Structure 1
Amino acid sequence: MNDRVVPESERRRRRPTKQGTVLSEQLIIDTALRLVGQHGAEALTVRRLGAALGADPSAVYRYFRSSDDLLLALTDELIGRAQQGWRPTGAWRADLRDIGLRVHALYRAHPQAALLAAHRTTGRVQETRIVEAILAVLRATGLPDPEAVRIYHAFVDQALGFAALDAAALALPAAAQAADNQVWLASYGRLDPSTHPNIAATAHLLAADMPRSGYPFALELLLDAIAARLPQATGEDA
């Protein structure tokens, strides 16, 4: 998609498409998310979107200036979906855990979109909402603002980093995923204890654990580290 500005007054399409639907930003985002999920990043084109919507591809420009504008909107949609139903409880550890697991699970549910979106910063409504929520949880513990910001950074990067890593694995063909998992038994499980005593001793544990995401445990380690840095009065809040 090329950058192109359509005046706001001309953006809404009132006539139904060939499929009898009226275009909207939400319909285009939902369709783009579905196409990316089915066909990968290459599906995020005006031509494919137009075909899926039953509309002239140029109609997409009434709502999005470019493919990057659409990608940012799609990213913000994913962030918003991760927050649906979340409410702060006042227990900092439970609240951060819930946010982290929600974001990670949402991106794992949309691995192809996660590969495009996990590293982007939108500055839009849903992203702003979750940034505000996480900072509110951290500042309420009594952490000084510089520390709260550093922890926010680590918390978000951890969640999105694991999401991107897990999404990349989930986006592989099923045969490749199975082959990667089998390596832990077929290769590591057969190493000679005399040359690789530590791997040999734990190969069965590695084979069981490595196919799973490491994020839930890594998140608990980070929450433990945060607890150790809190003012004494709130450090026991779990």
Structure 2
Amino acid sequence: MDGPARIPAERRRRRPTRSGTVLSAESITTAALALIEAPGGNALTVRKLGAALGCDPSSVYRYFPDTDAILMAAADRLIHDSLQGLTRSDSWERDLRDFAHRLHRSMLAHPRLAMVRASRVTAGPAEAHAIDTGIGILLRAGYTPLQAVRRYRLFVDTILAQAAADAAAQNPDPQDRDERPDRTWSEYQHGFPTGEYPHLDAVRSELFAMGEPTFPEILDLMIQSFAQQLDRPDGTPEHTATDDA
């Protein structure tokens, strides 16, 4: 995000606001995260930010052009926090698994920004670092540059999509808890008429598994698939025409 970098230094506020906060892109991002994560905090506005920071709302525009840019900064902050402490081991599979779990945990810890993170590119330094890290793991595994890029996109999109779905299922707002999607699986297990859906009838006693977390198995299947591609007889990953496009 290049908004704050374009602001002349003389326009940036150096004195503390009424609440004692020194206004900066970082303090605004911190306040935005607190507002988003507060009960009923789905709608982020500059007016609310101004009130939280103890400043005139127009001061926020000295650092960000609009609330969308603030959302992107907040999402990038969460990516940064999720990757803190990530280290390289002697196993690319272990590192890719750690990378995925960190993103997944972060999305569940901040569910109101999960869909933004799954569907948008922040273009910030933390996301650039995440992409660099993920592609680096796949290059170290033995993929060519193009293959590493393609498989990273496949991998991270799958992880983020599943994490966003898992975060949505948490429904942080108490008034929405009766609409939890996992509630429907027990209804399928006990509620449909015998004989009307023969295949569901055949697995009726196993339908409880539909409500179990799928992320661990999805992650296992993806890493196993990547490893199998690298173990092909010719010693190269699975080759397709699109890899050379």
Worse overlay, 164-173 or 94-103? 164-173
Counterpart residue type for residue 73 of structure 2: A
Matched residues, number? 231
2: distance between equivalents of 1:190 and 1:184?
10
TM-score normalised by the chain length of structure 1: 0.86
Counterpart residue type for residue 10 of structure 2: E
1: distance between equivalents of 2:4 and 2:89?
44
Structure-2 change in CA distance of 1:35 and 1:212 (3 Å): farther
Aligned to 1:156: 156
2: distance between equivalents of 1:186 and 1:176?
18
Q: What percentage of aligned pairs have identical amino acids? A: 37
TM-score normalised by the chain length of structure 2: 0.84
Mapping of 1:1-40 within 5 angstroms? 7-38=7-38, 39-40=40-41
Aligned to 1:92: 92
Secondary structure of 2:182's match? helix
Give the deviation of 1:14 after TM superposition.
Answer: 1.7
- 8 Å Cα contact 2:78/2:106 also seen in 1: yes
- 8 Å Cα contact 1:33/1:113 also seen in 2: no
Secondary structure of 1:41's match? coil
Unaligned residue ranges in structure 2 (runs of 5+): 238-245
2: distance between equivalents of 1:128 and 1:115?
19
- 8 Å Cα contact 1:76/1:122 also seen in 2: yes
Structure-2 change in CA distance of 1:32 and 1:211 (3 Å): farther
Mapping of 1:146-185 within 5 angstroms? 146-171=146-171, 173-174=173-174, 176-179=176-179, 180-185=181-186
Worse overlay, 157-166 or 186-195? 186-195
Larger relative contact order (CA 8 Å, sep ≥ 6): 1
Mapping of 1:1-238 within 5 angstroms? 7-38=7-38, 39-42=40-43, 44-171=44-171, 173-174=173-174, 176-179=176-179, 180-207=181-208, 209-231=209-231
Worse overlay, 211-220 or 44-53? 211-220
Unaligned residue ranges in structure 1 (runs of 5+): none
- 8 Å Cα contact 1:29/1:74 also seen in 2: yes
